[in-house]
Amino acid sequence: MSVSSSGVRLHPERALTSAARQAKLVGSALVGPALILVIAINILPAFYGFYLSLHKVFFFANEGYVGLANYAALFSDPFAWQAIGRSLLFTFCSLAIAVPLALLAAMGIRRLGRWGSLLLTVLLVPWAMSPIVVALLWKWILVPSPGGLVGALFAAFGRPPQDLLTDPMLAMPTLIAVGVWRNFAFATIILIGGLGQIPKDLYKAAAVDGLGALESFYKITLPLLAPSLLIVISMLTISYFNEVQLIIGLTGGGPIRQTNTLAYLLYNTGFVELDQGRGNAIAIVMFMINMALIAIYIRILGKQPGAAA
């Protein structure tokens, strides 16, 4: 009696678990190809890079295990420290210009209606271009001759043309300007989305309470925009920190190492000089810094509604 009743109770449960197990199998099989490709291409190389960073590797030939010698050499090289400093300078100066500019553009575009979406499209055109092509283009814009565009501007102010890319004081600011020109509008997209989520009633209530435009910007817009701002800042930080194509195309790390960022040092050591052991040590350091930045990025994304679905 008890046996048969438990048998009756068990049977549908067992059918259910086997159906659930089958669904889980199908689900995993469907996710599998994408997961394998992503791991193989985006994650596995990092581990292989760590393995190689412990070896002396020159011109594709592994000459044996050297322990942490590559790292020791890297961290005792003042140029490597200088490169980290240049990376941080490039990243944070670019951010300091791009983020306020993007916010200004986002607020202006929202006020403009149909013309606003046209302006956003126009501003995004440089972002749709290849960074190396942007570098070629700006190299021509900046050519130090009265026949060049910037040269003609200098001439209009009665100044001789100046080579901004070979001037040690001006190369980095010029690089930053070109970088911001290319991609600040991308941040604008996300900020427009964020601004759209702030309830309009708040501004009306603030106006009733006698708050000025500037005050409601500080007390309503900025705090409520914080999630979008954080996303924008983390995405741009990663993008600027890893920028290498603009540097390859515009300055090649010069003049006198002024634009020799960690990303460019990696390019030069690993791909040009083919010191691949040491290059991989730089790559691992860069990867670690990226992971630290991404940890922040995931924390921010993870807090968004729907991210856990």
Between 9 and 173, name the residue whose CB sits nearer to other proteins: 173
Q: Under a CB-based contact definition with an 8 Å cutoff, are residues 146 and 156 in contact?
A: no
In single-letter form, the type of residue at position 79 comes to F
Between 96 and 149, name the residue whose CB sits nearer to other proteins: 149
Query: Least distance in Å: CB of 189 to other proteins?
Result: 5
Q: Under a CB-based contact definition with an 8 Å cutoff, are residues 295 and 233 in contact?
A: no
Separation of CA 288 from chain center: 15
Query: Least distance in Å: CB of 31 to other proteins?
Result: 5
Between 7 and 33, name the residue whose CB sits nearer to other proteins: 33
Between 33 and 210, name the residue whose CB sits nearer to other proteins: 33
Query: Least distance in Å: CB of 203 to other proteins?
Result: 16
Query: Least distance in Å: CB of 307 to other proteins?
Result: 5
What residues contact residue 35 under an 8 Å CB cut-off, 6+ apart?
none
Q: Token digits for 206?
A: 């603030």
Between 132 and 211, name the residue whose CB sits nearer to other proteins: 132
Query: Least distance in Å: CB of 180 to other proteins?
Result: 11
Task: Please spell the DSSP secondary structure of 222-290, one letter per residue.
Answer: HHHHHHHHHHHHHHHHHHHHT--HHHHHHTTT-STTTT--HHHHHIIIIIIS-BHHHHHHHHHHHHHHH
